[in-house]
Amino acid sequence: MVTAYCVKCKKKVEIKNPQKVTLKNKNPATKGTCPDCGTKVFRIGG
């Protein structure tokens, strides 16, 4: 279970369709969508 903060809902939500990505500085991150409103959410870190 990976969570991120949704700016639109103003709460922490579980990421829907999480995808692991690597930033330019080689740090891991996770991106996906909010299950409630469909907004893109992003979390830095493994």
| Model-wide pTM > 0.75 | yes
Q: Is 27 left (phi over 0), alpha (psi -120 to 50) or beta?
A: beta
User: What residues contact 37, with CB distance under 8 A and at least 6 apart?
Assistant: 6, 8, 9
pLDDT, tens digit, 9 for 90 and up, residues 6-42: 999 999 999 999 999 999 999 999 999 999 999 999 9
